[in-house]
Amino acid sequence: MTDNQITAITKGAFVALKSIHVLNFASNKIRHVDQSAFLSNEKLRAIRLDSNALEDISSAFTSLSSLVLLNVSNNNINGNYFDVTSQLRINYLDVSNNKIRKVKNDLIPKNITTINLSNNLIDEIPSGTFFK
């Protein structure tokens, strides 16, 4: 689904695709991902939402216990912190080229092995953020 004009991912969009493992929505115009968009996609392991217009993703992936790769680089994710929910099993996370200002240590997924935070507006990383 790359390089299209998609602007949102809504609740129930993939309800019939219960066995899907990978979704690639790179290079669209997505501004919003509904909190329940992936509720029935428990087997989803990788999501690419890079090069869109996302501003906030904090509650979009909370039901995805199998998710290990998330790429949301080149968006407009902003705020004073980055919150993907530390309960996720993500081990690869790319949030480069956004507008993130602060990274809180208790909001980074515990299984993270690779994280790309380059080209953001980060001005604060609390002590111990990357030590688990």
Q: pLDDT band for position 104 (50/70/90)?
A: confident
pLDDT digits (tens, 9 = 90+) for 50-88: 999 999 887 788 888 899 999 999 999 987 666 665 567
pLDDT digits (tens, 9 = 90+) for 45-60: 999 999 999 998 877 8
Domain range summary for the chain, segments of one domain joined by +: 1-132
**Measured distance CA(70)–CA(91) in Å, rounded:** 9
Which amino acid appears at position 72 of this protein?
V
pLDDT of residue 125: 84
pLDDT of residue 81: 60
**Measured distance CA(87)–CA(9) in Å, rounded:** 22
Q: Which class is 1-132 in CATH?
A: alpha beta
Instruction: Measure CA of the first residue to CA of the last residue in the chain; give whole Å.
Output: 36
Count Cβ atoms below 10 Å from residue 88 Cβ, excluding itself.
21
Question: What's the whole-number mean pLDDT along residues 32-55?
Answer: 94
Decide: 100 and 82 in contact? Cβ < 8 Å: yes
Decide: 8 and 25 in contact? Cβ < 8 Å: no
